[in-house]
Structure 1
Amino acid sequence: MSLVPELRTARLRLRGFVEADLDPFAAMQAEPGFMRHLGVGPSAGRPRTRAETWATMAGQLGQWALRGSGFWAIEHEGRFIGRAGILNPEGWPMPELAYGIAPAEWGRGFALEAASAALGWARENLPAPPVSFIHPDNHPSQRLAERLGAAQDGMIDLPGVQVQLWRYPPA
């Protein structure tokens, strides 16, 4: 029995990560254009290796067990195309709605669809709505947060990077 609840949208299936996701997820995280606004500390904006991607997947599965929330793998027509969910590792200031779609799938509305499903789940299952931490130059993510009803509420320092704080209203 999986700790990760499955969500479905009109076009997507959000599910727990499986080992078969490693290759497409590693390819996604190896792309500099995908990673340029992601990460904190010394790894901020840096593409990830296959081993780092494996550790990310394992950490996300572990977060479900330890925190009751985490990332879902996003599947479209049976293919892994990204991840979305609640990022809340140890030391994080508050639960964050985060999302990422493989660059080959950009512009098709998948990020909005997946993030909307994850936000709906969070509103029903977390004590307060999550926030999003968005790099000041990440204009597509800012527009997506606005479409989901978030409003920017200043800046916040994460390890090694200053980002915008976006707050989502309650349901």
Structure 2
Amino acid sequence: MTPPTIETERLILRGIEQGDLDGWAELMGDRDSARFIGGTTNRAGAWRSMAAFAGSWSLKGFGMFSVVERASGRWIGRLGPWQPEGWPGTEVGWSLIKSAWGRGYAAEGATAAIDWAFAALGWSEVIHVIDVDNTPSIALARRLGSTDQGPCELPAPLDKYNVHAWGQSCEQWIARRAATAA
């Protein structure tokens, strides 16, 4: 499947492209940015990771999007639907480069991606797999209306992480979106 392009007020969510490698390597090379997504890796490792995320679209019909800042055209991260083999559920996740933190981009992009996952993929629920020490992502999950569903296990080699699934049903999401729009 060819990834769609989703535009929000400040972001463009689009398919992963070879030209995203510089940003992807920045994300995966920074200790703080990569801490909760498997740890740092070099540029070659970042390319393999990028290729796996891009390949999800062919294999599963969905995958994370590259996140591009509309005003600058700069690649700032990856986010969207994700469910590799052995994953505990249908996830919408997010990871942004450090210079994009604190601007509300993750919430804006995740909202658009969740809307798309429920509408286009027909998911009945969405989760966010979050390390218990990742307080900014926990705060974002709460802001999105998700609640802590408890501990979950990730497949090796990520099984060493102490993570919880935060989530909600499609019905809860729709009701929350309707209430905030009113």
Normalised to the residue count of structure 2, the TM-score between the two structures is 0.86
Q: Give distance in 2, aligned partners of 1:150 and 1:38.
A: 20
Residue identity matched to 1:95: T
Give the secondary structure class of the aligned counterpart of 1:130. strand
Report 1:58-69 matches (<5 A): 58-69=51-62
Q: Give distance in 2, aligned partners of 1:64 and 1:95.
A: 14
Asked if the contact 2:124–2:169 (Cα under 8 Å) also holds between the matched residues in 1, the reply is no
Give the secondary structure class of the aligned counterpart of 1:137. coil
Q: Give 1:81's aligned residue.
A: 76
| Number of corresponding residues | 164
Offset at 1:162? 2.4
Offset at 1:51? 1.3
Offset at 1:168? 2.1
Give the secondary structure class of the aligned counterpart of 1:98. strand
Report 1:11-50 matches (<5 A): 11-39=10-38, 46-50=39-43
Higher-helix-fraction structure: 2
Q: Give distance in 1, aligned partners of 2:101 and 2:90.
A: 25
Q: Give 2:100's aligned residue.
A: 105
Offset at 1:60? 1.4
RMSD: 1.3
Deviation by residue 1:15-64 (Cα, 9 ceiling, x = unmatched): 0111111011101110001111222xxxxxx2021111111111112111
Asked if the contact 2:29–2:40 (Cα under 8 Å) also holds between the matched residues in 1, the reply is yes
Residue identity matched to 2:73: G
Q: Does 1:142 align with 2:131?
A: no
Normalised to the residue count of structure 1, the TM-score between the two structures is 0.91
Residue identity matched to 1:108: R
Give the secondary structure class of the aligned counterpart of 1:168. strand
Which 4+ stretches in 1 moved above 4 angstroms?
Answer: none
Q: Give distance in 2, aligned partners of 1:93 and 1:169.
A: 15
Q: Give 1:166's aligned residue.
A: 166
Q: Give distance in 1, aligned partners of 2:6 and 2:98.
A: 22
Unaligned runs of 5+ in 2: 175-182
Q: Give distance in 2, aligned partners of 1:47 and 1:57.
A: 13
Unaligned runs of 5+ in 1: 40-45
Deviation by residue 1:74-111 (Cα, 9 ceiling, x = unmatched): 00121101110111112212221110111011111111
Q: Give 1:122's aligned residue.
A: 117
